[in-house]
Amino acid sequence: MTMVENKTIENTIAFVKETLRGAEGGHDWWHVERVYNNAKKIAATEHADLFIVELGALLHDIADSKFHDGNEDIGPEKARAFLVSERVHEDVIDHVENIIRHISFKGGNNGITFTSTELSVVQDADRLDAMGAIGIARAFNYGGFKNRELYNPDVKPDMQLTKDAYKKSTAPTINHFYEKLLLLKDRMNTDTGKKMAEQRHLFMQQYLQQFYDEWNGMK
């Protein structure tokens, strides 16, 4: 990247850190930093524009709709305003805005309306942070934030959630494993992302077995 692009990345990091100060623990700066690092690792094996990848990773959760009454425009608009202030080229801004608009899972039953190598990289990086030990921690952290039950054997996972139903779900946190987390491995885009997802997926399966054994007094 050029010196100007590196400076823009530095400014973006500072902007994101300040904007997400005090955010919910699963969607704070540390989440963004992990996604940013994963994205750079994945991008190294893809023919991707690193500047767009880094900006997309850094700004992907700048205003998550979950914390803005479901409004999916605030994040892209906030990112656009910042990038305009940084005098980033319009083509780059458009691309980053599209990454933010299309990165999210939201039930996984939506049609694809935008694709790019850079989106694939950032999406994989974000999905990896929803898997494994950190993914488990984030799931229960958010469940606690929303005051959801840990587990309720009488509430079965809904595997046909629409985007709207997914966003409004109040189901126990364990259901989230089946409705999203365990589905991610087979929805990774890149070869590197797929390889990184394997071990994290296995860890979640092992965790669930331990959870049920303890729940049922078997261990």
* Class of CATH domain 3-215: mainly alpha
Burial code (b: 16+ CB inside 10 Å, e: under 16) for 140-152 equals bbbbeeeebeeee
pLDDT value at residue 107: 44
Mean pLDDT, rounded, for 54-72: 79
- The full set of domain ranges for the chain reads 3-215
Tens-digit pLDDT profile for residues 81-131:
999 999 999 999 999 999 999 998 654 445 568 999 999 999 999 999 999
How far is it, in rounded angstroms, from Cα 103 to Cα 134? 19
Q: According to DSSP H, which parts of 23-180 are helical?
A: 29-43, 50-59, 74-85, 90-102, 117-128, 132-145, 163-168, 173-179
pTM: 0.90
